[in-house]
């Protein structure tokens, strides 16, 4: 369930970013900001789940350290563009906003590819079955709680 949920987040995030990019000019400022806020909330939830379950579970496995480090660096790069996108354009969204959103999408896609090609396969190989079962139970509780919070922020259609 951990990997399926994270992959589902990835799909939703990338699809919503693409919708935002495609319909940017049609959206009023309030809808635009609500949309980007929802996307960023989904990404933050995704990042927290990765860091609190996957990275934490393998932090003591020496062979996994470079992979986790690379993924964490990716999170830092993504956070920088998120900060730029949300802080610079909050009051006056313009064409540089959509350029930053496109850059954010590219960074997220790169990060998600890293997850699927390196992080998740390594995690599956390194984590004992009993640990995985415990993580799955904790993960499910967290996801249900976070998804409830996220669903309280419906996205408006233009």
Q: What is the pLDDT of residues 132-141, one digit of tens each?
A: 888 888 888 8
How does residue 13 score in pLDDT terms, banded at 50, 70 and 90? very high
Q: Does the predicted TM-score (pTM) go above 0.85?
A: no
| 105, two tokens | 């999408």
Count of CB atoms situated within 10 Å of the CB of 102: 15
- How far is CA 11 from its chain centroid? 10
Is the per-residue pLDDT at 154 higher than 60? no
Between 95 and 5, whose confidence is greater? 5
Count of CB atoms situated within 10 Å of the CB of 66: 11
Average pLDDT over residues 77-87: 85
What is the pLDDT, as a whole number, of residue 156?
43
């Amino acid at each position: 369930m951990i990997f399926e949920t994270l992959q589902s987040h990835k799909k939703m995030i990338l699809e919503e970013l693409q919708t935002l990019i495609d319909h940017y000019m049609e959206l009023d400022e309030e809808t635009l900001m609500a949309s980007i806020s929802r996307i960023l909330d989904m990404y933050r939830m995704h990042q927290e789940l990765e860091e609190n379950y996957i990275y934490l579970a393998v932090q003591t496995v020496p062979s996994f350290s470079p992979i986790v480090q690379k993924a964490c660096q990716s999170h830092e790069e993504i956070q920088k563009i998120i900060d730029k996108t949300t802080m610079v354009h909050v009051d006056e969204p313009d064409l540089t906003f959509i350029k930053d959103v496109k850059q954010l999408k590219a960074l997220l896609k790169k990060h998600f590819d890293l997850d699927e090609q390196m992080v998740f396969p390594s995690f599956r190989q390194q984590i004992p079955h009993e640990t995985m079962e415990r993580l799955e139970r904790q993960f499910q509780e967290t996801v249900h709680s976070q998804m409830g919070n996220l669903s309280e922020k419906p996205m408006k259609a233009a």
